[in-house]
Amino acid sequence: MSSQCREVYCAVSNIELSMKIFSVKSIPIVSWSSDHALSFRPRILTLCILCAGLTVFGIGDALLIASGAGNSPWTVLSQGVSQISGWSIGVTTFLTSLAVLLFWIPLKQKPGIGTILNVVLISIAIEVSLPYLPQPDSYGLQVVEAGLGILLVGFGSGLYLIANLGPGPRDGLMTGLQRVTNLPVARVRTAIEVAVVFFGWLLGGTIGLGTLMFAFGIGPAVSMGLYVVNYFSTRST
């Protein structure tokens, strides 16, 4: 095969792979996925993978914060609510999570142990890792760090969503809307994040390039995380 033919073959293969990744429409079920999303006595392996995914998610979020390139969309919304209410961002973040859970009712989503651990472990991962992460002065390095953070959030999401022990408030909204609309995960997640950024900005929240990167990049990142985790899980069985 000539070098030109190999280049064409590689290009076609990359396009096909991209189409597979970004057309994911459901959360895959693999050998270590929990049989019941509401189970509070999961297998040890499933629980460990869930915790690993949430930890990776938290480190990714911490990278985005440390980059200084801009907050995530939900932080922008919490900041906007904080400014008009006078409450702390911690309080508004908690209340925002409760408000998101209310949207689960018409979507017939139910919380599980993953929903509880989502709040706890992600917060701990951010708190522990943030002091040790670089805070670059170069804008280019800030963008790179923010991009890496988004990829880690997507991969962490893939791990803990496939564990099937209940999504976090925001991911539950995503999976619920995806099931109702039957649209690709990437498109649903991107639409949610863009809407959240818009309303947060209207309320007075501040945005940066990292915010826009997260809003438009987290959908494809989660979709890629689901594809990668599913691919390697099925190959190992």
pLDDT in tens, the chain (237 residues): 555 545 444 443 444 555 565 666 778 899 999 988 778 789 999 999 999 999 999 899 889 888 889 888 888 898 889 889 988 777 787 788 888 989 999 998 888 899 888 878 888 888 888 889 999 999 999 999 999 999 999 999 999 999 999 888 888 999 899 999 999 888 898 899 899 999 999 998 878 899 989 888 888 898 999 999 988 888 765
pLDDT for the residue numbered 46: 95
User: For residue range 225-236, what is the model confidence (pLDDT) as tens digits?
Assistant: 999 998 888 876
| For the chain, domain boundaries | 42-235
Question: What residue type is 149 in one-letter code?
Answer: G
HEC-encoded secondary structure of the chain:
CCHHHHHHHHHHHHHHHHHHHHCCCCCCCCCCCCCCCCCCCCCHHHHHHHHHHHHHHHHHHHHHHHHCCCCCHHHHHHHHHHHHHCCCHHHHHHHHHHHHHHHHHHHCCCCCHHHHHHHHHHHHHHHHHHHHCCCCCCHHHHHHHHHHHHHHHHHHHHHHHHCCCCCCHHHHHHHHHHHHHCCCHHHHHHHHHHHHHHHHHHCCCCCCHHHHHHHHHHHHHHHHHHHHHHHHHHHCC
pLDDT for the residue numbered 235: 74
pLDDT for the residue numbered 38: 76
pLDDT for the residue numbered 202: 94
pLDDT for the residue numbered 9: 40
pLDDT for the residue numbered 75: 84
User: For residue range 164-185, what is the model confidence (pLDDT) as tens digits?
Assistant: 998 888 889 998 999 999 998 8
pLDDT for the residue numbered 27: 85
User: pTM for the complete prediction?
Assistant: 0.81
User: For residue range 13-43, what is the model confidence (pLDDT) as tens digits?
Assistant: 444 555 565 666 778 899 999 988 778 789 9
Scan for tokens 């209410």, then name that residue.
85
